[in-house]
Amino acid sequence: MDDIIGPVKQYILDTFLKGEDPSALRNDTPLISGGILDSLATLELVSFLEQRFGIQLEAHEVDAERLDTLTAIAALVQGKSARV
């Protein structure tokens, strides 16, 4: 899981949260419901996940259930990778 969470966390910090304290972004920090990822940022994150991890996401997979926390994102990527 850490090999997924690490790059994703770094991407979010570099792209959307420049200058923020990295330790404040925890694995269970709500990203979508907490207002950090709006629809545009979510689509940018989707592109990053697809390119970085070689997976393909479907429209119905873009929701708070799967993308709201780093832990949830890692689980999604792991599940998709296993099916690739």
Partner 1 sequence: MTDLAAAGASAVPATAATRPREGIGLRALAGLTAQLALAWAVVWVFQIEGPGFRRLVPLVVAGFVGHALLPLAWRLPAFTLLSLAAAPLVLEPEVAAWVVGLGLALVAICHLPIAWRWRIGLLLLVGGGAALAKGALLSTPVPPGVWSVLAGLFALRILIYVYDVRHATQPVGPLKTLAYFFMLPNVCFLLFPVVDFKTFDRTHYNEAPATIYQRGLRWIAMGLLQLLAYRVVYQEITLDVTQVHSGGQLLQYVFTTLLLYTRVSGQFHLIVGLLLLFGFNLPRSNNRYLLATSFTDLWRRINIYWKDMMMKLVYYPSFFALRRRWPQGSSVILATGIVFVVTWALHSWLWFWARGAVLLSWTDVAFWSAVGVLVVWSTWRELKAGPKRVLGTGAPGWSGRRGVRILGIFTLFSLLWSLWSAESLGVWAGALSTVTTLRWTEGLLWLGLAGAFVLFAGWNWDAIAQRQEADARWDGGLAPTALLCGLLALSPARAPSWIPDPLTGYVQALHKSGLNKVDKERMGRNYYEQINESGARALGVQESRRGNPWLEVHGAAHQVRSDFLVRSLIPGAKLSADGMPFSVNSQGLRDQEYSLAKPAGVQRIAVVGSSIVMGLGVADGTTFEALLEERLAQDSAVPPHEILNFGIGGLSHVQAVFVTEHLARPYDPDLLLFTIHEPDPVFLARHLRHVLEQGVAIPYPEVARIVEQAGLHAGMSEGEALRRMEPLNDELSRASFHRLAAWGRERGIPVLAIALPIPLEGSGARLATYIEMVQEAGLGVIDLRDIWAGQDEARMVIRPEDHHPNTEGHRILAERLYRELRARPDLLGIPPTKPAISAPSRTP
Q: Which residues bind partner 1 (CB under 8 A)?
A: 16-17, 20-21, 23-26, 28-30, 32-36, 38-41, 43, 47, 58-60, 62-65, 68-69, 72
Which residue in 72, 81, 11 sits closest to 47, CA to CA?
A: 11
Tell the smallest beta-carbon distance from residue 58 to partner 1 (Å): 7
Q: Which is nearer to partner 1, 7 or 25 (CB)?
A: 25
Tell the smallest beta-carbon distance from residue 67 to partner 1 (Å): 11
Tell the smallest beta-carbon distance from residue 15 to partner 1 (Å): 8
Q: Which amino acid is at 73?
A: I
Q: Which amino acid is at 63?
A: D
Q: Which is nearer to partner 1, 4 or 68 (CB)?
A: 68
Q: Which amino acid is at 41?
A: A
